[in-house]
Amino acid sequence: MAKLKELMNLHMTSSNDAFRFFDVDKNGRITFADFSKLVNRAHELSGDKAPSYPVIKDLFDGIDIRKDGVIDLHEWQQTFGVVG
């Protein structure tokens, strides 16, 4: 989780900006598919190898506090902190 936060802040301005960018429906929630794209893009920008599906799924499940299959901005900010 710390590595993902670092990559987002280095390559995507902030974790909140990353959330907004990958919230393709602009409904305040990101799906697993959206999250997977975010993780892969952050690693691609850093030149690192993207984590495997199980690792991405574990990260997603750790952020999805409500366990409803989507990550909303509140869950996101609980995990990564509130930033501009």
Q: CA–CA separation, 34 vs 84, rounded Å?
A: 21
Q: Give 33-75 pLDDT, tens digit per residue.
A: 999 998 898 888 888 899 999 999 999 999 999 999 999 999 9
Q: Give 21-42 pLDDT, tens digit per residue.
A: 889 899 999 999 999 998 898 8
The pTM assigned to this predicted structure is 0.81
3-state secondary structure the chain: CHHHHHHHHHHCCCHHHHHHHHCCCCCCEECHHHHHHHHHHHHHHHCCCCCCHHHHHHHHHHHCCCCCCCEEHHHHHHHHCCCC
Superfamily of domain 2-80: EF-hand (1.10.238.10)
Chain centroid to CA 83: how far?
14
